[in-house]
Amino acid sequence: MSQRPLHASFGAAAAAYAEHRPDYARAAVRWALEFAPGPRVLDLGAGTGKLTATLAALDADVVAVEPDPAMLAELRRALPAVRALPGSAEAIPLPDASVDAVLAGNALHWFDMAVAGPEIARVLAGVLRVRRL
């Protein structure tokens, strides 16, 4: 994600993106978290926080990571109580084994999985399981 050119980002339209992008269904997010051994969840490529908001509403201990400064600013404006950090799937700004689950809502296609895969495994406290919403 950090390699993505700025012109390929939605940052210039972050407020409109946040307003018009649909929310995630709580039942679908619960399903995605079914195998998580604990409540610590990373929303990777969090954008303006659509998935982050659903995770927070489900009482997850969520941290959001987003590379685009405008998207991150919109997320922080909408969800001031959520820990939101600049970073990317290829360079996650969290310690080893610090989360129980990693979710990416409509962001996986931006990741360089050759680099992001080992990074995701590094921050996960348990076994890597993949589920697609």
**In this predicted model, what pLDDT tens digit does every residue of 71-104 receive, in sequence order?**
999 999 999 999 999 999 999 999 999 999 999 9
Question: Per CATH, which fold does 9-123 belong to?
Answer: Rossmann fold (3.40.50)
Dihedral pair phi/psi, residue 34, rounded to 5°: -50, -40
Q: What's the CA gap between 28 and 9, in Å, rounded?
A: 26
Give 32-63 pLDDT, tens digit per residue: 999 998 999 999 999 999 999 999 999 999 99
pTM of the predicted structure, to 2 decimals: 0.85
Pairwise CA distance, residues 79 & 101, whole Å: 20
Domain boundaries, the chain: 9-123
Give the tokens for residue 9: 């980002």
- Under DSSP, the state recorded for 11 is G
Is 48 in a helix, a strand, or coil?
Answer: coil
Report the chain's C-alpha Rg in angstroms: 14
